[in-house]
Structure 1
Amino acid sequence: MAKENGRIVKWRGDVPFPEIPNVNYASSLLNAMTKHGEKDAALVDAQSGKVYSYGDLQRAIPTMRNGLVAAGVRPGDKVLLGCRNHIDMPVALLSVILAEATCVLINPASTKEELKHIIGLSESRWAIAQDEKVALKMEEVFKELSPDALKKLWVVSRKTSTRPSVTDLMNSTAPEPKHKDNTFDAGTSVALMPLSSGTTGLPKGVMLSHRNLITTQVQRKYLASISPPRSFNLYGSSLIFIPMYHMMGFNMTMNTLFSGGKAVILPKFTPKEYFKAIENHRVTFSPVVPYVLRFLETSPIMKNYDLSSLITFVTGSEPIAARTLEIITKKSGRMAMQGWGMSESSGIGTGTSNETYFKEGCIGKLGPFFQAKVVDLETGEMLGERQEGELYVRGPSVMLGYANNPKATAETIDREGWLHTGDLVYFDEDDNFYITGRIKDLIKVKGYQVAPAELENIIKRIEGVRDVAVAGVPDGRLGEVPRAWIVPMADATLDTDAVIKHVAEKVLPYKQLAGGVELVSSIPRNHIGKVLRRVLRKSYEAKKSKL
């Protein structure tokens, strides 16, 4: 039985929601492009100055689709895409989706061990690699799995490669496929598979349907239709340095293309390149991760550049202090705001407004189509206003499930369709949500997810380690960083610097033990043996406060 005043939070409004069309996501975007100017800039490389117009994309995406189909890619096939931000990446991504195949988004810096797991769970048989180095790594892993596991591979950059490339596919003379699949269902066909780390330490493949992704665009159009007319297009010029293999980077790029703006592409964040791009391309919208805002909070660099075109910064992936948002707004003269989302909800969820920008912990109101409830962690009862519990959300953008992982899917989406987010929240009388913590043990470094169990499994294999726990500890620049607490075996001598080096050799840079290693006599656990990471963090913070 629900607690008194427990209720489901819904979108407040009288205007009915529009239907979500049963169409291919890439086809929907191409149709939207016809409403924009043929010669208007759609994608811009901030470093080289290369430009794709909307007309260029309307020709390149179907042509590349034709080349993929001619090569043998069929509906339902999985195509691995490992690439950092590049002007050709959205073209490749959308071409795969237009072919009714599934685009599996990965970090090109993934280790061989990570790649082996990802290829296995996604059942990928085709691949697009950033460059020759990434291509070689992919090929080696595919061969380890099976001699004929990889059907074909293309590269994005041909600077150091003679392999078939994305450019070749964009110049393909292959005819448009004659066969039309009349059984296509946008609600069940998987368009995109980003990766989400879990407490098992291994990434999970998030299956997002065409309908899931189209919902995000219908939501955006609905909000525009009920809002007062404005004199500017927020997405007129968006600066994209957040990786497009993450849902935030993907969504912000696609939102810009649906809106008829130009997406200015940077491969990564460097302060000078970032502000030069804002100035040179008259950027109006800058999605950022929290660590960038924390850098800008103390850095004097922004005063050297013209930010007059910028309308707003927006951040997500982890909560950021209201004080930081206020300081950035005051220093830049531009609004800084935050929202909430996750890959499993297609990267959308809530957003702040004029009234809630600087309320501590506020992630704003639910977007259209969503329902939410807050659930007591112990009893499972639905809670009411200002009662803290786990956030559950439900709606047409919630994922189909995790690829080849029915157990994890059942643990995350219940029989009533509620997505259990793992986030601790409460909501107020006006239905604004406030995030207070994470139930899940994931550590977020610069917006990247790090699973403690992955690092624990590596450390456990070190000779002399009897027990280990990893948790995130606060870091002023990166938000959180991993720290390890190790119980040595009797009479064992462990060198903490050697442990840090050992882990660094096996993981990506953001997963390294930047929070250090501490040797302890025991690891705090509850009655069922689960590590009490909150106890570890509090112990660390107490010791640090005494220094």
Structure 2
Amino acid sequence: MKNIFKYLNDSESYFQFCMKFFFTMTTINHTKDFEVTKSKTGNHRIWIPVVAWNWAYYTVVVFISERSSEVEDICVSSSRSLLLIRMAKLGLLSRIYNFRIGVKAKQAFRVTTGPTVQRLGLNLQIRAMSDAPSGEASSIDKHIVYSRHKDFDLRSQTVVQRFFERASMWPNLTATECGLTGRKYTYGKLRDLTRNFGSALVRMGFKRGEVFGMVLPNLPEFPIILLGAAGIGMPVTTVNPIYNVEEIARQLQLSGATVVVTISELAGTLRQVAQLCPEIRRLIVVGKPEEGFASFGEMLQDPGNLFDENIEINPMEDVFALPFSSGTTGLPKGVMLSNANVTANIQQLLHPTAMKLTTPPPTRHETDVLQEVYVCILPFFHMYGMVGVMLTGLDLGAKMVILPRFEGDSYVNSLHQHHPSTLHLVPPLVLFLGHRPDLKLDAFRRLHTVAIGAAPLGLAVATRFVERFQKHDLLMQEGCGMTETTSVTHLSPVINNQIGSFGEPLSRTKVKVLDVDTGESLGPGQHGEMCVSGPQVMKGYYKNPKATEETIDSDGWLHTGDMVYYNEQNQFFIVDRLKELIKVKGLQVSPSELEDILRRHPGVLDVAVIGVPDDAAGELPRAYVVKKPGVALSKEEIAEFVDAKVSHHKKLKGGVHFLDAIPKTNTGKILRRELKIMSQ
């Protein structure tokens, strides 16, 4: 190595040197360590940061194409400062795995891929991303749809840091309020209690990297718990509280949660769960004291001195949330959402040209009258509720009136009392409000936006709502997203004349539609699978690289499994879902999970489950069953067998039908499309 610099002026010799040492270099698997650039001539480069032993020199010398295993380019970069890499203008952070690198140095060195590299490169990565318009992202595909919204600046901060910064602007305004009891927290109090709760967790012995489990309904204290745990570096996995013991245990086992919080009403369930999850060291209860549980109320009395606001958390790499999703197919998997994923999606949703506000965000000198007001009914354990409603609301300085569950009377009462400015709904709730006779027009006197997700909104439903409440200037804003994209990728424009479209790409988001047979990018009006890329796209599935590779390709495109098309105005429309997932009132139901249960029945030979349309729920699960020869089996027996083992929304409310054979391909894959046709 001592004569390495003699090669710098001889590109051929330098190339030979790189190839000679290429196969001896360390493999880096940290996806965020890669940056993809594209020159005006169309050449692509992959920049990989490496730090030298003496913190003085490091150099990337080889760029490799994963698909072709060919050297595409060679580049040298060195510096004597701590910001060691000279980065060209960035397009996107690429998720490309197992690239080999060569390094040079004047003296002994080592390659590191841990926090040191991440720390050194972070600020420069953020700055480069901010300077590079998303339209310049690296890609050679045709027909890519770019966002029309101006790029926002990506900042190097965690979700908790961002919340503390925003809360300090309006500490005396109400942040959360219980819609049933009226108990409330100001932004200043929420901030202080977040510190206290995080400090109490540290005092209990929990540390950065351990997973924190939340089995909670919506509560005014939800953000205290979420942000307190995340603030000490604990990824948080949120669990649907209506799950049964086996379902909760499965998620906590897969996530490796070591501490779990719940409400007193679910204490008995969590005791059973803890017996199935030996990694759980502590249970915490919100509400009345329970034997064997730490008291959440007592934890809030912690002085907060162990909460370190300067804790070393890398927003680009460290996981903030670990929700579970079935993805495009299969059983639920943990979705790794980094702090940067979440803060980026918040900024995308609050982009000044993407949303409608009647008043500016409040300052510490303004009053509650100017606040945006949300009545929160969508579950916070779901990413639409957590990011699209709660965290976005906190960032905006909104007052959030929180209901633990949907109950028609209490929901209507909250609307009458608090006069929301924005409603976050799913289509069945829009339908409910449009047909609720006791809902007065005055409840919506401040309402300017209805944000709809989870399923397309029908024109008739939207029209009835607007006419019923005489809100002809109301923005009915539809959106689209998935857990794997933090919450949202598309939002319909502020001036929306395309009811039924799920909108256009958010800032820094690009989209393409692929032919499902050829993989070719398609133009307007052509049906294909939607793929998205942007800063809100997940890091990957937790401890499941195979599923990650099946969902995110080597160029960083996430394949959604949704069949869509877009028009000349870049408005997107859903056609169908390639994926098998069923959505019941916005909640995911995995056909594979129900099929696995049904196959355990001694009288079932074969089975397939699909979703069938339902006006109120969106979809309902329906089972097609092949009985074993000579077995007497009723539809009711099948339904009861499943119902006893699953949550309410997973029950076979779509019915049970018997078939002689399940339609399948030659390779044995279920032809669900034929079953869909059969169900019509």
The alignment's TM-score, normalised by the length of structure 1, stands at: 0.92
What is the percent sequence identity of the aligned residues?
31
Give the Cα separation in 2 of the matches to 1:436 and 1:371: 19
SS in 2 for 1:458: helix
C-alpha spacing 1:491/1:245, structure 2 compared with 1 (3 Å)? same
RMSD: 2.3
- The worse-fitting range, judged by mean Cα deviation, of 306-315 and 414-423 is 306-315
CA contact (8 A) 1:375 1:381 kept: yes
Match of 2:295 among 136, 161, 165: 165
Q: Does the CA-based 8 Å contact 1:201-1:451 persist in structure 2?
A: yes
Equivalent runs, 1:212-227 vs 2, <5 Å = 212-221=341-350, 223-224=351-352
Pick aligned residue for 2:283 from 126, 142, 153: 153
Contact 1:70/1:174 (<8 A) preserved? no
Partners in 2 of 1:495 and 1:226 — Cα distance? Answer: 52
Displacement of 1:117 after TM fit? 2.1
* Deviates most, 284-293 or 415-424: 284-293
2:556 is paired with a residue of what secondary structure?
A: coil
User: Is 1:175 the counterpart of 2:279 in the alignment?
Assistant: no
Q: Is the 8 A contact 1:81 1:106 kept in 2?
A: yes
- Quick one: distance in 2 between partners of 1:324 and 1:6? 36
Change over 3 Å in CA distance of 1:377–1:217 after alignment to 2:
same
Alignment of 1:247 with 2:386, yes or no, is no
Residue 113 of structure 1, aligned match among 211, 236, 246: 246
Aligned counterpart, 2:625:
486
Indicate the residue corresponding to 1:344 in structure 2: 484
Contact persistence 2:328–2:560 (CA under 8 A): no
CA distance in 1, matches of 2:433, 2:380: 22
Alignment counterpart, residue 80 of structure 1, candidates 201, 205, 213: 213
Name 1:210's counterpart in structure 2: 339
| SS at structure 2 position matched to 1:523 | coil
Going from structure 1 to structure 2, the CA distance change for 1:376 and 1:164 (only over 3 Å counts) comes to: same
Shift of 1:348: 1.2
Q: Which deviates the most, 339-348 or 228-237?
A: 228-237
Please give the secondary structure, in 1, of the residue aligned with 2:143: coil
- Equivalent residue letter for 1:11: S
- In structure 1, C-alpha distance between the alignment counterparts of 2:345 and 2:660, rounded to whole Å: 50
Q: Is the 8 A contact 2:356 2:449 kept in 1?
A: no
**Contact kept in structure 2, 1:5 and 1:385, CA below 8 Å:** no
Is this contact kept in 1: 2:393–2:399, CA < 8 A? yes
Which letter maps to 1:204? K
2:496 corresponding residue in structure 1: 356
Q: Distance in 2 between matches of 1:79 and 1:281?
A: 33
Q: 1:511 to 1:413 in 2, by over 3 A?
A: same
The code of the aligned residue for 1:238 comes to Y
- Which among 501, 514, 521 is matched to residue 660 of structure 2? 521
Closer, same or farther: CA 304–395 of 1 in aligned 2, 3 Å? closer
Between Structure 1 and Structure 2, how many residues are aligned? 529
Structure 2 distance, partners of 1:127, 1:276, is: 32
Please name the residue that 1:24 is paired with: 158
2:315 pairs with one of 186, 189, 192: 186
Cα deviation digits, residues 441-475 of structure 1 (max 9, x gap): 11111111111111111111112211111111111
- Deviation digits for residues 46-72 of structure 1 (CA, Å, limit 9, x no counterpart): 100001011111211111111111111
**Whole-angstrom distance in 2 between the partners of 1:151 and 1:227:** 43
Distance 1:65 1:419, change over 3 A: same
Shift of 1:527: 2.3
Q: Any idea what SS the aligned residue of 1:449 has?
A: strand
Measure the CA separation in 2 of the matches of 1:263 and 1:23.
24
Match of 2:468 in 1: 331
Q: Which string of whole-angstrom CA distances, capped at 9 and with x for unpartnered residues, describes residues 255-274 of structure 1? A: 11111110110011222211
- After superposition, residues 385-404 of structure 1 pair within 5 angstroms as 385-404=524-543
* Larger RCO of the pair (alpha carbons < 8 Å, separation 6+): 1
Q: 2:245 and 2:225 mapped to 1: Cα distance? A: 23
Unaligned runs of 5+ in 2: 1-139, 362-369
Q: Is contact 2:420–2:443 with CA below 8 Å preserved after alignment?
A: no
Distance 1:298 1:238 in 2: 21
Q: Aligned equivalents of 1:454 and 1:289: distance in 2?
A: 24
Matched, 1:64 2:64: no
Q: Does structure 1 retain, via aligned residues, the 8 Å contact 2:594–2:609?
A: yes
CA distance in 1, matches of 2:538, 2:423: 26
Query: Following the alignment from structure 1 to structure 2, what is the Cα–Cα distance between the partners of residues 12 and 307?
Result: 31
Q: Does 1:440 align with 2:579?
A: yes
Matches within 5 A, 1:375-386: 375-386=514-525
Q: Distance in 2 between matches of 1:130 and 1:264?
A: 19
Q: In the alignment, is residue 197 of structure 1 matched against residue 309 of structure 2?
A: no
State the Cα distance separating 1:298 from its structure 2 match: 3.7
Is the 2:477–2:494 Cα contact (8 Å) retained in structure 1?
Answer: no
2: CA distance, partners of 1:48 / 1:386: 51
Summarize deviations over 1:242-293 as a string: whole Å, max 9, x none: 1100011112111111111101100112222112111211211110122212
What amino acid sits opposite 2:344 in the alignment?
Answer: T
In 1: Cα distance, 2:356 partner to 2:610 partner: 46
1:143-166 Cα shifts (integer Å, max 9, x gaps): 3343xx222111122266673222
Instruction: State the one-letter code of the partner of 1:8.
Output: I
2: distance between equivalents of 1:287 and 1:178?
34
Instruction: Supply the AA of the counterpart residue of 1:352.
Output: S
Q: In terms of mean alpha carbon deviation, does 403-412 or 200-209 score higher?
A: 200-209
Deviation at 1:179, TM superposition (A): 9.6
**Aligned pair partner of 1:370 in 502, 509, 513:** 509
**CA offsets 1:219-252 (integer angstroms, 9 cap, x no match):** 245x227989854669710011111000111121
Question: What is the distance in 1 between the residues matched to 2:461 and 2:289?
Answer: 41
Paired AA for residue 98 in structure 1: G
Q: Tell me, yes or no, if the aligned pair for 2:562 and 2:577 is still in contact at 8 Å.
A: yes
SS in 1 for 2:439: helix
Q: Which runs of 5+ in 1 are unaligned?
A: 542-547
1:497 and 1:423 mapped to 2: Cα distance?
33
Residue 279 of structure 1 aligns to which amino acid in structure 2? H
The 3-state SS of whatever aligns with 1:498 is helix
Conservation of the 8 A alpha-carbon contact between 1:25 and 1:214: yes
Cα distance change on mapping 1:199 and 1:469 into 2, 3 Å: farther
Distance change (3 Å), C-alpha of 1:33 and 1:451: same
- Pick the aligned partner of 1:98 from 214, 218, 231: 231
